[in-house]
Amino acid sequence: MIVLTLNCGSSSVKYQVYDWANKDVLGNGVVERVGQAMSDLEHKSKGKEELVAKRACPTHKEAIEWVMESLLDATYGCLADINQVKAVGHRIVHGGSVFTQSVLITDDVIAQFKKVEPLAPLHNPANIMGVEAARALLPNVSHCAILDTAWHQTMPDTAFMYALPHAWYENNQVRRYGFHGSSFLYTSKRAAVLLGKPANKTNLVICHIGNGASACAIKNGVSIDTSMGMTPLEGLLMGSRSGDIDPAIIAYMAREANMTLEQVDSALSKESGILGITGRFTDRRDVEAGVAQHDPSCILAQNIEIYRIKKYIGAYAAVVGPDLDAIVFTAGVGEFGSDIRVGALSNMEHLGIKIDPAKNALAMTRNAETCISADDSKVKVFVIPTDEEIVMTEDTVAISNGTYKVHTEYTYIFQDPNYVNKAREAGLPKDLTKRPGLDKIIAKPAK
């Protein structure tokens, strides 16, 4: 079965084509700047040159049509016929409290997604446009929704309820939902493999640190708390999102700066975080360069991010309890930000967490799962490259085949100790050559 996965952001479409029978990525890419004067496409097919192109894509409909054209391109494409695609998996950011697992998309399901659009106004409309465009282009195949929020539906009410008027929860669905669900699912299952434990016996704190960032407390294999809230704004410091603030700031700035609620909301999401502190950067690589040049705003931004991560790790270690098995870092910054990792985990030996600085400095590759804790650390520390696409792909295949179950009752292919991620392994030898000693810290499944 050939599966297409689509991840439609507010101004982008990321996609992948996966050959399920051979467990191999045939092609992938991204269309960026959707809705602007010109959009950019980067497309890669196995064994072929990369395609880079520009075209106007006023909406996600045109972007997805362009994706389909690229997949079929005689020179750059990876498919001979679009009918080779037998199922499509769609990332949906917000499913409210209705969906506790991935689901086959129907008209009724889309209607439910539209009901919760106000809870994710930047994400769900784009997700839905992508679904509708793909269903129009591929009307005779299964379309499945993989929801960010579904993973966190195991949280107890003590974690997901806010101390607000109860009518807000009953009438307006105000509660903690959490996000990055596919990433947490993948990395938690992989951590269990590396620890040699059943997934439902594994206790973790996972830090998904990218432009968007969140932490998740996992006890006995399920989410029991997470840093993002009703929307993806709460919690850790992010590229342009504030994370935790005093909510009174909103009314204060509306009064003092004569800002509308919409302007304050936009500032918290688009002008805050790393960008707000530095005044010009969201990319942590730019921040690292600024730190090396002793730029005070970059030093402050990095220190605030480290401090916020450290606070959440400490809080979630307490929530998970004394049987904490591992801390996991994932996503772009989590995988490459060695300074942030070592800063966040320094002086945590009293919690049984001891990082090895030399191992940490080596673990800067997207292609290898590594262990960066000291040999005598009670709690392991892993860097695990996330793979949300394989979660989307397998959920889509299982839904289409009628074999799908909620993750607590389902075993994924990547839970096999002998699982090989072919897309990842393809880049591994080059990275090993560049980083002598990396082979000594690559995490292997426990016996």
Q: Annotated binding residues, as ranges?
A: 7, 14, 91, 208-212, 283-285, 388
Q: CB–CB of 135/143 below 8 Å?
A: yes
Residue 100, Cβ neighbours under 10 Å: how many?
Answer: 16
Structure-block tokens of residue 176: 């903690």
Side chain identity at residue 213, one-letter code: A
Angle at 225 between CA 221 and CA 230, to 5 degrees: 130
Q: Which residue has the tokens 């195991």?
A: 154
Structure-block tokens of residue 36: 């602007």
The binding site for Mg(2+) consists of 7, 388
The binding site for ATP consists of 14, 208-212, 283-285
Q: What is the dihedral sign for C-alpha 250, 252, 257, 259?
A: positive
Does residue 416 have an active-site annotation?
A: no
Residue 424, Cβ neighbours under 10 Å: how many?
Answer: 17
Taking phi first (over 0 means left), then psi (-120 to 50 degrees means alpha), and beta for anything else, what does residue 297 get? Answer: alpha
Count Cβ atoms within 10 A of the Cβ of residue 169 and give its class: 0-12 exposed, 13-18 middle, 19 or more buried: middle
Neighbour order of strands in the sheet with 39-45: 51-55, 39-45, 24-32, 12-19, 2-8, 85-92, 142-147, 103-104
**DSSP strand E in 281-421: where?**
326-330, 370-371, 380-383
Spatial separation of the C-alpha atoms in residues 117 and 296, rounded to whole Å: 39
Q: CB–CB of 80/26 below 8 Å?
A: no
Of 148, 225, 339, 356, the active-site residue reads 148
Spatial separation of the C-alpha atoms in residues 67 and 112, rounded to whole Å: 27
Spatial separation of the C-alpha atoms in residues 414 and 189, rounded to whole Å: 8
Residues assigned a catalytic role: 148
